[in-house]
């Protein structure tokens, strides 16, 4: 598995079928606004173009190290101030998000991918808080956040559901070789 190396538009263009699997799966979308129909997702992708979904800085595909198969996505992007749920009034906090196709849950894949992205960012960027925002009912996501070392600090409403905001320090993820 490699998080962050096999990424972006060309990858999705080749494997758009696997990306369909995560947006159309009711389990995967249970806390993300529900499953989309395959046709609607394909239409959106065609209208916006693959790069719109994949080329933003901090968005990565999680791929199997051996087969290059699409497993999911992980992103570390800025949470826009127009959305609710912030640590500070100006917003734009670094926000971690992740989604795996259903067959790959329960294997530590999301943990490994999130750790890789956070570790790389911690070497590149000055220290600052990183947040995870997830529905309070999303036990798997909250467990992953806890295992990564994020601490829940507040709850708020978005998309008609209670959300939990958890926080950690970016430099807490610096690999040992970078702290010497
Ligand atoms: C949230 C989500 C990514 C969590 O996936 P996950 O596979 O449970 O997360 P992890 O990678 O941390 O794996 C943890 C599981 O793997 C097991 N595991 C096996 N090997 C492991 C390893 N080397 N390291 C860590 N965990 C390991 C753990 O014991 C745990 O098992 P459990 O589920 O029986 O408790 C997944 O449920 C998902 O894609 N959900 C839909 C999208 C979503 O809601 N995203 C949240 C929006 S931010």
Judge if the beta carbon of residue 113 lies within 6 A of ligand 1: no
- Does CATH number 3.40.630.30 belong to domain 2-179? yes
Judge if the beta carbon of residue 144 lies within 6 A of ligand 1: yes
Going by CA atoms, what residue is nearest to atom 19 of ligand 1? 107
Judge if the beta carbon of residue 35 lies within 6 A of ligand 1: no
Domain ranges of the chain: 2-179
User: Mean of the pLDDT values across residues 151-167?
Assistant: 97
Q: Which atom of ligand 1 is nearest to the CA of 105?
A: 7
Q: How far is the CA of 141 from the centre of ligand 1 (A)?
A: 7
Q: How far is CA 19 from CA 41, 65, 116, in A?
A: 10, 17, 21
Phi, psi of 138 (to 5 degrees): -90, 80
φ/ψ bin of 68: left (φ > 0), alpha (ψ from -120 to 50), beta (otherwise)? left
User: Mean of the pLDDT values across residues 38-48?
Assistant: 70
Judge if the beta carbon of residue 107 lies within 6 A of ligand 1: yes
Q: How far is CA 110 from CA 117, 130, 134, in A?
A: 11, 17, 15
Judge if the beta carbon of residue 33 lies within 6 A of ligand 1: no
Question: Which pLDDT does position 2 carry in this prediction?
Answer: 47
Give the tens place of pLDDT for each residue, 14-33.
555 566 667 778 888 888 87
Tell me if residue 22 falls in helix, strand or coil: helix
Tell me if residue 177 falls in helix, strand or coil: helix
Q: Which residue has the higher pLDDT, 10 or 106?
A: 106
Question: Which pLDDT does position 26 carry in this prediction?
Answer: 84
Q: How far is the CA of 147 from the centre of ligand 1 (A)?
A: 10
pLDDT at 1 over 50: no
Judge if the beta carbon of residue 150 lies within 6 A of ligand 1: no
Evaluate the CA torsion angle 78, 80, 86, 89 in order and state its sign: positive
Q: How far is the CA of 89 from the centre of ligand 1 (A)?
A: 31
């Amino acid at each position: 598995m490699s998080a962050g190396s096999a990424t972006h538009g060309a990858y999705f263009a080749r494997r758009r079928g696997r990306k369909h699997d995560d947006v159309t799966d009711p389990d995967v979308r249970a806390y993300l606004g529900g499953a989309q129909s395959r046709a609607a997702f394909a239409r959106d992708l065609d209208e916006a173009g693959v790069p719109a979904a994949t080329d933003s800085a901090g968005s990565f595909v999680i791929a199997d190290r051996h087969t290059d198969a699409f497993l999911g996505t992980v992103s570390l992007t800025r949470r826009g101030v127009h959305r609710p749920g912030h640590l500070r009034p100006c917003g734009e906090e670094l926000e971690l998000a992740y989604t795996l196709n259903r067959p790959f849950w329960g294997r530590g894949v999301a943990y490994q991918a999130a750790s890789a992205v956070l570790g790389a960012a911690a070497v590149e960027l000055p220290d600052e808080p990183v947040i995870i925002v997830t529905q309070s009912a999303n036990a798997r996501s909250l467990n992953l956040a806890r295992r990564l070392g994020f601490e829940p600090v507040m709850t708020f409403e978005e998309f008609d559901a209670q959300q939990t905001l958890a926080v950690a320090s970016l430099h807490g993820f610096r690999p040992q070789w970078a702290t010497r």
